[in-house]
Each structure stands twice: as structure tokens, then as C-alpha cells.
Structure 1
Amino acid sequence: MRVTIYEVGPRDGLQNEPVTIPVEVKREFIRRLADAGLTTIEATSFVHPKWVPQLADADELLADLPRRPGVRYPVLVPNERGLDRALARGVTDIAIFGSATESFARRNLNRTLDSQFDMFAPVVERALAHGLRVRAYLSMVFADPWEGPTPPEQVVRIGRRLLDLGCYELSLGDTIGVGTPGHVERLLDAFAEAGVGMDRLAVHFHDTYGQALANTLTALRRGVTVVDASAGGIGGCPYAKSATGNLATEDLVWMLHGMGVETGVDLKALVATSLWLAERLGRPSPSRVVQALAKEMR
């Protein structure tokens, strides 16, 4: 078995950092991630700088980003203006970001649950016409801070609509990290019952309650083979204050390698990358594997 890791550190990991990170550091971070063997590295986002100031340098970053053969560098694109910028920079892979709940759709997108598709549809249509691959994120799939638990049937309904637009993959996001293995089983079973294969789904867990690895293992046993993770466990969501760090890529790789699952990732090189970044962020990595291996690497 082989698992594809969708590395989100440079975008989802860094977007909530309070201190502006130099573009040179971001560029070097991405280069080091590719050196460690990661083949999908989400580089940045074309969201308006007013909303996510940390990613205001997206154009500058992409202009001089060293590209490695066999590595994809997707970019989050919120709307048609963002798509215009992506096309101008020669981006080949984009992602759109939808909500499974009414409250988060209004706060994050300034749209209703259903009207968010009025924004997504032209983006996906134009992107596909230009030969781009389009991924969809779906946030708050288990619960949100305002409405509580999210009904699985609602998640499936919104998720299928995103796939029907032409997205090749749907990433299911536990944005505030409240999900458990039981939640994962029920949601994936609901998608399967609706005719959505596990090959169309990815998972994106936050570790707020320490459940990210257990949830990932549950998804893998249900047949999911694409997992989002962030080097060093950095990250959060600027629109959901209860969202803490992402599943650490190192913790994921340690588990997968221990299971005999192929990832193509050099774990020591990845740990060295997260230690390098932690120095620049001015704080230690929250990843348990980074902490453990750092002692051996000294």
C-alpha cells in the first residue's frame, strides 16, 4: 500500500502566523520539503491580503519558486480574481475551499451554504478549460463552533456537489479537531452509500483533542489513501479560533512507515526541515516525532 501525503505546511501551516515570515524562508521551506521526498506541496493562497496577510507575497513567492520534476505545487484559489492570478503565474493545480455548515460559509466566504457554489462554479469551469487540476476542501465536516455537530448527510450533499463541479478530489476537513474514529467511520460510510468512492476522498485532521492520528488510521482502513498534513504540526484557521495545529507530517510518516506503508518521504530530512523552520518561527515544533528524533540528531 502507498499513501500520498498532501503537504499543507507552506499554506495552511503558515497562514496563521502572527509575525510576517520572509518570502525567502517560505521558498526555502518548500525546497526542503521537496528534498525530503514530498511530491505534493501546497505553496500558498491567492486569498486577498486583507484576510490572510501572511500570504500577501503569493505572487512574489511563485515568481521565483524552484520547481522540481514530479512535484506538484497547488495553490488555494478563493474566487475568479484568484484564478486570474494563478493562471498568470502558470499554476497547474488549484484548490477551492468550501464549507459544510451555514455559519462557517457566512464567516469564511460571506456566502450561504448553497450560494457558495455560485462563486465556485465559474472558477472550476474556467480552471478545467485551461487544463488545471482542481481539488476541493470541505471544512467543518464533523462540527463547527456555532452550530455544533454537522449532520453527515449535509456533508455528503455539499461534498458531492463539489465533486460534481469537476473537482478530482474532496478533502474532508475536521477544522476544529473534534472528530473521533467513530465520526470518521460514519462519515466515510455515508459517502460510500451515496456512491462516492474512497479514491475521490482525502482527509484533513487537526489535532485539537489528540485524535488526528487515530482518525487518519481509521480513514486508511476504510480505503482513503490521500492524507493532508503539515510539517512540524504547524497551522490553524484564521476564521475559527478554536482550530489548532494540523496533523504533523512527521507523526504521520512515523506511523505509516511502522505499518510498512510506502510514502517516499525521508523522515530524518523532514524532521531536519521542521527543526530549521522552528528556529525561524522562534518556538519548538509541537510534533512528538520531531521532538523525539531531534534528541537523536543532536
Structure 2
Amino acid sequence: MNGLNETAVIWGAECRRTVRSARVVALLALYSMFSLLVLLVVGGITKALREQLDTQVAQAGADAAAATQVADQFRQGFLGFLLGGDQAMMEALAQVPLVVLVVFKVTLFFLPVYIAIMGFDQVSGEVGPRSIRYLTVRSRRSSLLLGKFLSQATVLLGLVLIIDLAIFIYAAFTTQDFTAGSFAINLLKFWLAAVVFSLAYLALTTFCSSLFRAPALSLIFNIFMLFGFWLVNLMGSFATEKSPMSYVRYLTPSHYANNLLHPRLAEFAVSGTAYAVFALLFLGGALFVLRARDL
């Protein structure tokens, strides 16, 4: 078989094995529980703030129009905080409930760790017991690596779509002016942003999994890598403008997450290209390690 056929066969077999295992149920439950917790907390806070605003307006003797204006001002201020004051993004996401935006932002923070837990043994789980030998005599190492990566990506994107759909359904039931058209368009937009974001971190997990024979070491190293990226991005963000330290944040994947929801194609393309470059670098490193090591 050629490389594409080998990749397709491995991808299909790995997808079937993953879907049939109890692991995917546990991963969905873990993702759902965390997202539900964030959703309930954010929803409760939003409801409490809304009630507080209504009470203050009522005590001041203002009418309904004034209450709506105060709520809109609060929303605009909060959107500016979440989106860095980008007017184009604020206008494009004006119809999206705040609970969806907040949960999305929080999700992007913990999603890399979730991906690491999901795929830390995708390669090391085969290298450790040397069962990978039975695969490499029948297929190319590049096909094996890419097939495993694509199978993990397929399962991950399915799980993300399920959770995003649940969050949007919750928002639709709790927000009166969230129309069906806005629901469909923004669901696709948020899911696509999560796809672009997730694939780069999944490639990082593939790279970490290819470095060690013990899956536990792969997971630990992956977590350290994520913490290192987070720390570098934090230092670069707090550094003074145009100082050498401020530029190091461009070396971290999380720096490019802000524009994944941008309405202008140029801004989205920059972030999408950055994540594609990170994914290719990590996958290239994983392939180099897998080809060099004795299996």
C-alpha cells in the first residue's frame, strides 16, 4: 500500500478502537463535568449581576429603557475586557451570550491539559511494550504517526462539537434574543476556532508521546511543556512594550488564540497559520524521533 492508504487504514482502526473503548466515555464525562461546572458558575454570576443591575435601576426610579441601556453598557465593558477592546470582534460577537464567550475563554485555558490526558500514550503506549514493531513492519512510520494523530483529532473534534452544542443550547434557552441564525453561525465559528486551537496542542502531545517509552513520562513532560508555554506567554505579556522580553510571547501557541474569532479574514488567517506552523513543527519533531529511535 502507499502512504495515504496506510494512513487511512491506521486512522480507521484507531478510531474504531477508541470509540469502542470506555476511555472515550470517560473523556467525554471529564470534559462535560468541567464545562458544566464553568457554565453553572458563569451563568450564576451573570444572573446575579443582571439582578443587581435591575435592582439598582429600580431603586433609582429609572424606566425599562434606562435599565436596558445600563445592561448594554455593562455588556460592552465586559466584552472589551474579554476581547482586548477590539471593536470589530465586539461588534461581530454582539449577539453571542456572554456565558458562551466566558466558557469558551476558560475552555481554551484547560483544553491543552485535556488533550494531554487524552493522547499522552498514543505513541508511547505502543513503544513501551514494543507492540509497535508489529505495525512498523507492515506500514511506514510516518503513516503510523499520522494515522494515530488523525484518529485522536477525529475523536477530539467530535467531543468538542458535542460540548459546544450543549453550551449553545443552554445559551439559547436562557437568552431570549439569541436567534436560530446566530446560533448556527456562531456554533460553527466557535467550533472552528476550537479545531484550529486544538490540533496544534494535539500535535504537541504526539511529539511528547514519541519521546518516551513510558506513557507516564510522556504525560509529565507534556504538562511541563504546557506550563512552560504558559509562563513564557505570561512573561511576554507583562513585559514593557517593544522590550526584547515582550517578543517571546510570539513563540507560544496560546498568544494567537485571541484572533481565532476575529471577523476579518486577515487576522484569523494569521492566527490559523501560526497554529498550523506549530502543528507541523511538533509533528515533524515526533516523526524525527520515531524514525531515529530503535523500536
| Bigger relative contact order, structure 1 or 2 (CA pairs below 8 A, ≥6 apart) | 2
Structure with bigger gyration radius: 2
Structure with greater helix percent: 2
Is the shorter-chain TM-score for this pair beyond 0.5, marking a shared fold? no
| TM-score grouping bracket, smaller chain normalisation | under 0.3
TM-score scaled to structure 1, two decimals? Answer: 0.23
TM-score scaled to structure 2, two decimals? Answer: 0.23
Structure with greater strand percent: 1
